Structure 1
């Protein structure tokens, strides 16, 4: 069981850019049309922007404002599917017996975006790249909690997913639209003003429904209607009073993650 404080957050998706946009989405979620738009990342010089993929831009756009100019904070980058568009292009080159671009290959690896973040910001601290299953979000938050326990004053956690190519439609069904969410995570402090922060408790228990079916169909698990990160984002928009004693549950295979908002 761990306690976390969400000091700040930012999110991006097609047509969902501002706090007000996400507030409206949280009240009545919908799947926005994805025409390939991407953040402009105007805080970066043009040469650096051109080197970023769409997914990297999404991650930078949400994470950048949460870290002060001279702050040295650890980063946790999380994504279940990673640079899937770039990887799909590389697989196409392999199928066509074309030579692979070393640059494209190097930027397709799972920790590439974390590395780009470190270079662009001059970050010299720890950067982790997490790839889990449908509960990648919770694993990333567990990693953030570990870094806090080791003495980090705060951790930037960013999770991003891009809509996969249609060739994956039969296998990937957990990315309804491209999105990125960044959280500035810290430890709750005694006497902290609860009005300016969001405090949560995260607990991992066994998902009894799937204990005997871990390698079989997931039909017995009550999956979330939305990716876990977006479910949590919806909860962030709920009035604190209504969630003071409420739970947010995310289950996957033998794991059941229980979030509780603390007063």
Structure 2
């Protein structure tokens, strides 16, 4: 069992960015049109910004406000599919026997975005990049709890997915649209302001089917509702509960 304080959070999806947008979406969730829209990330210098993929921009946009300029905080980046768009473009180049860009290859690896965060923010501490199954979000929280247990005052956690190319239709079916959710989490000891949540894990002995929709976005709805949330996945059953 893990207890955390959610000091602050931010989310992004096409056409849904500010708190009022997310409050409206949480009250009436709906599929969103994903036409390739991406955050501008004007806070990043132009020469550095040009190297950011769409997924990286989404991550930076949501995570940037979670950390003050003078803070050194651990960073957890979680994505089931990662830089699928960039990787698919490189596979297309291979198919056309075109030369591959070493820069593009280097930025396609799963921990590249965590590395870009460290460089852009001047972060010298721990960074973790993970990929899992549909419960990648919960595994990211477990990583954050481990970092808190190791002495970190707070941890920045981001889970992000980009809608993959149409070639993956029928193979990747858990990213209805591009999105990111960033959380700043800390100990649930009353030292920081924010809602406290408890995450527990038990076996999915009832064989309940998986929850519909990305877990991170369902948690955004729970943040607005303040209601418990179950996330069954295969043999695992994750339960989120608000702590009074």
1:254 aligns with 2:241: no
Secondary structure (helix, strand or coil) at the match of 1:143 reads helix
Structure-2-length-normalised TM-score: 0.97
For residue 225 of structure 1, what is the aligned residue in structure 2?
Answer: 212
Matches within 5 A, 1:91-130: 91-130=91-130
For residue 134 of structure 1, what is the aligned residue in structure 2?
Answer: 134
* Residues in 2 aligned to 1:152 and 1:50: alpha-carbon distance in whole angstroms: 32
* Residues in 1 aligned to 2:223 and 2:48: alpha-carbon distance in whole angstroms: 33
Matches within 5 A, 1:34-183: 34-183=34-183
> Is the 2:199–2:240 contact (alpha carbons within 8 Å) kept by the matching residues of 1?
yes
> Is the 2:160–2:180 contact (alpha carbons within 8 Å) kept by the matching residues of 1?
yes
For residue 205 of structure 1, what is the aligned residue in structure 2?
Answer: 202
> Is the 2:80–2:161 contact (alpha carbons within 8 Å) kept by the matching residues of 1?
yes
Gaps of at least 5 residues in structure 1 are 211-220
Structure-1-length-normalised TM-score: 0.90
* Residues in 1 aligned to 2:32 and 2:111: alpha-carbon distance in whole angstroms: 28
* Residues in 1 aligned to 2:146 and 2:154: alpha-carbon distance in whole angstroms: 11
* 1:98 shift after superposition: 2.2
* 1:37 shift after superposition: 0.9
How many pairs align? 244
* Residues in 1 aligned to 2:69 and 2:3: alpha-carbon distance in whole angstroms: 27
CA displacement 1:162-182 (0-9 Å, x = unmatched): 001111111111001000110
For residue 18 of structure 2, what is the aligned residue in structure 1?
Answer: 18
* 1:226 shift after superposition: 1.2
> Is the 2:211–2:233 contact (alpha carbons within 8 Å) kept by the matching residues of 1?
no
